[in-house]
C-alpha cells in the first residue's frame, strides 16, 4: 500500500501515524459492534469510541519497558501499544493467533508488560506492586494504570493511592473520565472530584480537557518524566466522551445527548480540519480492519494447550 | 522448638536465600514483629523487603500479586485470617486467575498467610477457621501449618507450585512444640502427610489438619485407654487440591471407618470435599459414610465457656468416634 508522506498540520496537531492509529482503533471498535450486530461474536465487549486519542497520545510518553494496566474498555490501550488488530480480534473471536488463546477475551489480555483485567479497581494495587518492583530493579520505568471515573467507587483505588504516595512509587494513573459509569452519570456516582481525591493523598493531579494529541504530549511530558525521575505517583484525568454504549445496545442516554458528544468528538474535528487527507486515511483504516476481520474469521478456533 | 519459632526461622531463611522475596503485612516490622510475633526480627535483617503496610488487605494482596507478576516472590501476613475476606477479590479474581486466564501458564509465586481459629477469646470476627471459604478455586492451593511439617519445606513447596497459595496457621499452634508424639504412638512424615499410629491394625482413620491434630491425638489417647479403640491420625500439609488418597489407601482399606476433623463451622466444609473423594474411591468397602467432625453451626462466641462449647475439641472428637464405632 502506498502511503502519503507524513504531514504535520497545526490544525490537527497530529502526524499521519497518530491519526492512522486513532482511525484504526475507531474502525476496529465499529467493526466489533457490526460483528455483534450480525451475531458473529460471543459474549460481550466494551468499545472505546470517542476515547481513542488517549492511548495514542500516552503511548509516545511511555517506554516499551514500562508496564501498562488496562481495563474492561481496553482495546485502544492494546492497539496503541502493539498495533496488532489481528491478534486482538482473534482473541475476541477465539481464533488461531489469539493473544491469549481465546481464554481471556476482550477484557483479560496479557502480553509483554501489558495486562488487562475485568474487575474495577483491581489493577491499581497490582500496579503498585509492579511499581515497587520497578523502583528497586529498573529505576526510571513506571507502571501506568488506566481507569475510569466509575472506578473511583472502589475502595481499592484509595488503598493503592495511599501506598503509592507513602512509599513514593512510580505509578502513573490515567483516568478516562467519560462522564458515565455504565448508565450512571458522574454527577450521580462521584462526590467531590477526582482532583480532590488525588490531593487527599498528596498525589499530583493534572486535568486534560483537550483531545489534541500534540498538546496533550507537550503538557504531560515533563510530568511523566517526573514520575520516572522522582519515583512519585501522578494522576492524569482526561475529560473525554464515550460515544458508544457501555457494552452493546445498552445506551440509555438520549439521542440528543449522544449527538452533542459527537459534535465534540476528535473525529469530527480532525475531519473538518483537513477533509481530503482525513478521509483517505479513514478509508485506509477501515479497509485494513475489514481485511483483517475477514482473514481472522476464516481462521480455525484457538487452542488452549498450556494450562 | 515451638511452631511459631519454626515459622519465624523459615521466613528468615527464605528472605536470606531469595533476594527478591518480600514480606508484607500490617505491623510486621520490629519492634512489634506482627500481632503474633511471627515476623519478629525480620525487618531488622531485611529492612527493604519486610514492609509494614496500611490497614489495606485488598491492596496488600494486590501488591503481592504485582510483585509476583514481576517475577518476585511475596508473602503477605493477614493479621487475622478473618480479614482475608477483604482480600478475596485479589485472590479469586486476580492472583489465582492470572495463573491461567491469559491463555498460557503465568507463574505467580505468592503466599497469603492467615492466622485462623479460636480458643483465645477473640470473638466472632477474629476466631474463624476460614479454610472452607477458599476450597475449590482454580489456581489457588491451600496449605495448613502443622507441628509435623517443617515450615521451610512447606514454603519451598508452595513457591515451587508457582501459583498463589493460602497458608492457614491455627493460632493455638504458635506456642506448641514441633513434632511431639508420645508412646505408644509413633510418627512418620512422608511427602506432605504426617501419620501418627499404633502397632497393629487401626479401628479407624482420623484425618485432621494441623490445627486440630493435637486435639485428635488427645482423643486418640483417651479412646485407646478408655475404649480400646485404636486410631491412625493423618495430617495433610496441603488441604487443596487434596490428592493424598494414595497415602490413605492402606489405612482406609484396613480400618473401613474414616473421620475428618476440622475447626470450621458446619456446612460446605473442607471435610465434605475430602469425604466426597474418599467415597468415590472407597464407597464399596467403607463400613459407613465418612464422618465429619467440626465446630457448631454458629458464630464463635467470645466468653470462654461459650467458645469452648462451640469449637471442636478433644471431647467432641472422642465422643463422635466412640458413638460412631460403639453405637
Q: What is the DSSP string of A204-272?
A: EEEEE----HHHHHHHHHHHHHHHHHHT--EEEEEE----S-SSSS---S-HHHHHHHHHT-HHHHHHH
Q: Tell whether B146 and B235 lie within a shared domain.
A: no
Strand partners, B205: B232, B258
Q: Tell whether B76 and B155 lie within a shared domain.
A: yes
- Residue B178: inside a domain: no
Q: Tell whether B159 and B233 lie within a shared domain.
A: no
Query: Along the 307 residues of chain A, how does pLDDT read in single tens digits?
Result: 334 434 444 444 578 999 999 999 999 999 999 999 999 998 888 999 999 999 999 999 999 999 999 999 999 999 999 999 999 999 999 999 999 999 999 999 999 999 999 999 999 999 999 999 999 999 999 999 999 999 999 999 999 999 999 999 999 999 999 999 999 999 999 999 999 999 999 999 999 999 999 999 999 999 999 999 999 999 999 999 999 998 888 899 999 999 999 999 999 999 999 999 999 999 999 999 999 999 999 999 999 998 8
What are the sequence ranges of the domains in chain A? 16-297
CATH number, domain containing residue B122: 3.40.50.970
d(CA A163, CA B62): 11
- CATH 3.30.200.20 for domain A16-297: no
- Residue B181: inside a domain: no
Name the residue in chain B with its Cα closest to that of A138: B70
Q: Tell whether B118 and B8 lie within a shared domain.
A: yes
CATH number, domain containing residue B244: 3.40.50.920
The alpha carbon of residue B244 and the mean position of all alpha carbons in its chain are separated, in whole angstroms, by 15
CA B180 to chain A, closest CA, distance in angstroms equals 40
Cβ atoms of A231 and A139 within 8 Å: the answer is yes
Which residues form the domain of B298?
Answer: 186-326
Q: E-assigned strands of chain B? A: 21-25, 50-52, 73-77, 110-116, 141-144, 165-170, 186-190, 193-197, 204-207, 231-236, 238-240, 258-261, 291-293
d(CA B73, CA A267): 46
Residue A101 has its nearest CB partner, among B93, B97, B103, at: B103
d(CA B103, CA A100): 4
**Residues of chain B contacting residue A115, judged by C-beta atoms under 8 Å apart:** 69, 102
Total structural domains in chain B? 2
Q: Tell whether B149 and B201 lie within a shared domain.
A: no
Q: Tell whether B22 and B157 lie within a shared domain.
A: yes
ipTM: 0.95
* DSSP-H helix ranges across B184-261: 210-222, 245-255
B contact set with A (CB within 8 A): 22, 48, 51, 53-54, 56, 58-72, 74, 89-90, 93-94, 97-98, 100-106
Q: Tell whether B169 and B213 lie within a shared domain.
A: no
Q: Tell whether B214 and B120 lie within a shared domain.
A: no
**Residues of chain B contacting residue A156, judged by C-beta atoms under 8 Å apart:** 58-59, 62, 89
Q: Tell whether B202 and B158 lie within a shared domain.
A: no
Q: Tell me, what's the pLDDT at B120?
A: 93
Counted residue by residue, chain B has a size of: 327
Do B103 and A166 count as a contact with CB atoms less than 8 A apart? no
Do B70 and A306 count as a contact with CB atoms less than 8 A apart? no
C-alpha angle B141-B142-B147 in degrees, rounded to nearest 5 = 135
Amino acid at each position: 500500500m502506498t502511503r502519503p508522506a507524513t504531514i504535520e498540520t497545526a490544525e490537527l496537531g497530529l502526524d499521519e501515524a497518530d491519526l492512522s492509529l486513532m482511525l484504526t482503533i475507531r474502525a476496529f471498535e465499529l467493526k466489533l459492534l457490526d460483528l455483534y450486530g450480525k451475531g458473529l461474536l460471543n459474549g460481550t465487549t466494551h468499545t472505546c469510541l470517542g476515547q481513542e486519542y488517549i492511548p495514542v497520545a500516552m503511548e509516545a510518553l511511555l517506554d516499551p519497558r514500562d508496564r501498562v494496566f488496562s481495563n474492561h474498555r481496553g482495546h485502544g490501550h492494546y492497539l496503541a501499544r502493539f498495533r496488532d488488530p489481528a491478534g486482538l480480534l482473534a482473541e475476541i473471536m477465539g481464533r488461531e493467533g489469539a493473544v491469549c488463546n481465546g481464554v481471556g477475551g476482550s477484557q483479560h489480555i496479557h502480553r509483554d508488560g501489558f495486562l488487562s483485567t475485568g474487575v474495577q479497581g483491581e489493577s491499581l494495587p497490582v500496579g503498585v506492586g509492579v511499581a515497587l518492583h520497578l523502583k528497586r530493579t529498573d529505576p526510571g520505568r513506571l507502571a501506568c494504570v488506566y481507569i475510569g471515573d466509575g472506578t473511583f467507587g472502589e475502595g481499592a483505588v484509595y488503598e493503592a493511592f495511599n501506598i503509592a504516595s507513602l512509599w513514593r512509587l512510580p505509578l502513573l494513573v490515567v483516568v478516562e473520565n467519560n462522564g458515565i459509569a455504565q448508565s450512571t452519570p458522574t454527577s450521580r456516582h462521584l462526590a467531590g472530584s477526582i482532583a480532590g481525591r488525588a490531593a487527599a493523598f498528596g498525589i499530583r493531579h493534572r486535568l486534560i480537557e483537550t483531545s489534541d494529541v500534540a498538546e496533550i504530549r507537550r503538557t504531560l511530558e515533563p510530568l511523566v518524566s517526573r514520575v520516572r525521575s522522582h519515583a512519585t505517583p501522578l494522576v492524569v484525568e482526561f475529560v473525554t466522551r464515550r460515544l458508544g454504549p457501555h457494552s452493546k445496545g445498552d445506551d440509555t442516554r438520549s439521542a440528543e445527548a449522544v449527538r452533542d458528544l459527537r459534535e465534540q468528538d476528535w473525529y469530527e474535528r480532525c475531519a473538518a480540519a483537513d477533509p481530503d487527507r482525513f478521509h483517505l486515511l479513514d478509508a485506509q483504516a477501515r479497509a485494513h480492519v475489514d481485511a483483517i476481520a475477514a482473514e481472522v474469521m476464516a481462521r480455525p478456533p484457538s487452542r488452549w494447550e498450556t494450562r | 522448638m515451638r511452631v511459631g519459632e519454626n515459622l519465624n526461622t523459615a521466613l528468615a531463611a527464605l528472605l536470606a536465600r531469595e533476594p527478591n522475596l518480600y514480606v508484607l503485612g500490617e505491623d510486621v516490622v520490629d519492634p512489634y514483629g506482627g500481632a503474633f510475633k511471627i515476623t519478629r526480627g525480620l525487618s531488622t535483617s531485611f529492612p527493604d523487603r519486610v514492609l509494614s503496610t496500611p490497614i489495606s488487605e485488598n491492596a496488600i494482596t494486590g501488591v503481592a500479586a504485582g510483585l509476583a507478576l514481576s517475577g518476585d516472590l511475596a508473602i503477605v501476613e493477614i493479621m487475622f485470617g478473618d480479614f482475608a475476606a477483604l482480600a478475596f477479590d485479589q485472590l479469586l479474581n486476580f492472583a489465582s486467575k492470572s495463573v491461567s486466564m491469559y491463555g498460557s501458564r503465568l507463574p505467580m509465586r505468592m503466599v497469603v498467610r492467615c492466622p485462623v481459629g479460636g480458643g483465645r477469646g477473640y470473638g466472632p470476627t477474629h476466631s474463624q477457621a476460614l479454610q472452607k471459604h477458599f476450597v475449590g478455586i482454580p489456581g489457588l492451593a491451600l496449605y495448613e501449618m502443622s507441628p509435623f511439617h517443617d515450615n521451610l519445606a512447606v514454603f519451598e513447596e508452595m513457591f515451587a507450585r508457582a501459583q498463589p497459595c493460602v497458608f492457614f496457621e491455627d493460632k493455638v499452634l504458635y506456642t506448641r512444640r514441633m513434632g511431639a508424639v508420645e508412646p505408644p504412638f509413633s510418627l512418620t512424615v512422608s511427602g506432605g502427610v504426617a501419620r501418627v499410629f499404633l502397632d497393629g491394625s487401626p479401628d479407624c482413620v482420623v484425618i485432621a489438619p494441623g490445627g486440630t491434630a493435637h486435639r485428635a491425638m488427645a482423643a486418640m489417647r483417651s479412646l485407646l485407654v478408655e475404649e480400646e479403640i485404636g486410631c491412625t491420625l493423618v495430617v495433610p500439609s496441603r488441604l487443596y487440591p487434596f490428592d493424598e488418597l494414595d497415602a490413605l489407601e492402606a489405612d482406609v482399606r484396613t480400618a473401613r471407618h474414616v473421620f475428618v476433623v476440622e475447626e470450621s463451622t458446619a456446612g460446605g466444609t473442607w471435610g465434605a470435599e475430602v469425604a466426597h473423594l474418599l467415597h468415590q474411591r472407597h464407597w464399596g468397602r467403607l463400613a459407613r459414610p465418612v464422618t465429619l467432625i467440626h465446630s457448631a453451626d454458629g458464630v464463635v462466641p467470645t466468653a470462654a465457656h461459650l467458645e469452648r462449647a462451640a469449637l471442636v475439641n478433644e471431647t467432641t472428637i472422642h465422643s463422635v468416634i466412640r458413638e460412631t464405632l460403639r453405637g
